[in-house]
Amino acid sequence: MINSTVAELSAALAAGDISSVEITQAYLNRIADLNGELNAFITVCEESALRQAAQADAARATGNNSPLLGIPLAHKDIFCSKDVLTTCGSRMLHNFISPYNAAVVERFNDAGAVLLGKTNMDEFAMGSSNETSFYGAVKNPWNNECVPGGSSGGSAAAVAADLCAMATGTDTGGSIRQPAAFCGVTGFKPSYGRVSRWGMIAFASSLDQAGPIAKSAEDAAIMMNTMAGLDIKDSTSIDKPVEDYTASLNKSLQGLRIGIPKQHFAKGLSAEVEQAVRNALAEYEKLGASIKEIDLPNSHLSVSAYYVVAPAEASANLSRFDGVRYGYRCEDPVDLEDMYKRTRSEGFGEEVKRRILIGTYALSAGFYDAYYRKAQKIRRLIKEDFNSAFKEVDVIVGPTSPHTAFKLGSKSDPVSMYLEDIYTIAVNLAGLPAISIPVGTANGLPMGMHIVGGDFEEAKVLNVAHQLQQNSDWHKQKPAVLASAKGEA
């Protein structure tokens, strides 16, 4: 049961073969058995989950067969959830019980999904390994000596280990797609503005985007049907009709033009990952697609531009955490200034403080033009590169990460960690939709392939991913170490 996809669970619920209470209890058992080892969840909502499941079963009994009704999910702990601890992986919010639901949470609630709990993450979504969390590092289900990727590593690990049927994540520079690649699951970043950011604790407002993490592209499409759409509370939400993302999943790929960036198949890419991606490309050719090498000449500047823009926005967004209104406050402050200083020094972790300092510096008088404005100009060039490429091809395909998951604690240098997102960051700077799907394993660890589409071409990206998954079984491979774990039903 817990190995099933969302589509399979939904069909079984509709047929009356299983109940939501049974599914939910099976996942709760699995969490109880494995979360101590994986540390994927910060908060588990056992009582409320079973109550929601019972309500879903009652609704099913009246003839309601909504696709997500009674399906258990987990939310990344960056989404405010009413009456549930919402920490953002930080000491700063270790005691914050949200008084309201984020728009994404509300939409899943309205769809009847069952909230199992909140997943661990890099503090304030700043990290590429899930090691910066105040609650400790998440372990990769394929090898618990390795990272699951970040910042949505808790959600990716939870889906990979069958601790939930589906999960939400957020992606600022690759934080859905890179963990999906490291954990062997499907992770989708929609176009900027396609999914509401209201109630999603902000890191970098012009880059952050919520998206689904699931076992297949079909499941991601089902989730997107609930997540996507205009939200008048979010000024960056796009007023554009939402299509049924499942409707075109089975569209033929005959005549599809796939572009592969020469910059993404150069020095630094492991031989195993390159071969896995090329094997997948060969499958696409069998399905009628053509392959063409393309040039993204400014892609090498994406990491540098990102690490000016994102910290600058973070320094502004995180200024609200000062110990005055909510969250952590230092003990026995001498005066207001002392409270501000010690609260922020004690409440934030090292990586968050590092990015706040970088961002404040880049925005300061005398350096704004030299750094922030220049980074925004580079961002525009990167967007124009993609615009030019999409005149020649329909989608862009390459590796999600240069290699498989690395060992916990093996990257102490911040710059080497920042380079983990070298293939994914440009997509956030350009605001485009992209997905990572599994394309094989090397040395017992999964590898991911990255598919990028044009503005608001979510349906096309999901279709391209789904067709490969219909003609391969890479996305069905599971961590062997978990095969005999308890909680199976």
How far is Cα 65 from Cα 439, in angstroms, rounded to an integer? Answer: 33
Residue 113 in any domain: the answer is: yes
| 3-class SS of residue 154 | helix
**pLDDT computed for residue 487 by the predictor:** 43
If one counts the domains in the chain, the total is: 1
Residue 311 in any domain: the answer is: no
Does the annotation mark 175 as catalytic? yes
**pLDDT computed for residue 482 by the predictor:** 67
Residue 23 in any domain: the answer is: yes
Residue 263 in any domain: the answer is: no
Does the annotation mark 151 as catalytic? yes
From first to last of its 489 residues, what are the pLDDT tens digits of the chain? 899 999 999 999 999 999 999 999 999 999 999 999 999 999 999 999 999 999 999 999 999 999 999 999 999 999 999 999 999 999 999 999 999 999 999 999 999 999 999 999 999 999 999 999 999 999 999 999 999 999 999 999 999 999 999 999 999 999 999 999 999 999 999 999 999 999 999 999 999 999 999 999 999 999 999 999 999 999 999 999 999 999 999 999 999 999 999 999 998 999 999 999 999 999 999 999 999 999 999 999 999 999 999 999 999 999 999 999 899 999 999 999 999 999 999 999 999 999 999 999 999 988 898 899 999 999 999 999 999 999 999 999 999 999 999 999 999 888 889 889 999 999 999 999 999 999 999 999 999 999 999 999 999 999 999 999 999 999 999 887 665 454 444
Residues in the chain: 489
Cβ burial of 452 (10 Å; 0-12, 13-18, 19+) is buried
Q: Which of 98, 133, 151, 152 is catalytic?
A: 151
**pLDDT computed for residue 416 by the predictor:** 87
Q: Which of 81, 155, 175, 196 is catalytic?
A: 175
pTM: 0.96
Q: Which of 19, 76, 129, 189 is catalytic?
A: 76
| 3-class SS of residue 462 | helix
Residue 250 in any domain: the answer is: yes
Query: Containing domain of residue 446, as a range?
Result: 6-258+390-482
* Residue-by-residue DSSP string for 284-306: HHHTT-EEEEE--TTGGGHHHHH
Does the annotation mark 76 as catalytic? yes
The CATH code of the domain that includes 178 is 3.90.1300.10
**pLDDT computed for residue 481 by the predictor:** 61
Cβ burial of 442 (10 Å; 0-12, 13-18, 19+) is middle
Residue 382 in any domain: the answer is: no
Q: Which residues contact 160 (CB under 8 A, 6 or more apart)?
A: 140, 141, 142, 148, 183, 184, 185, 478, 479
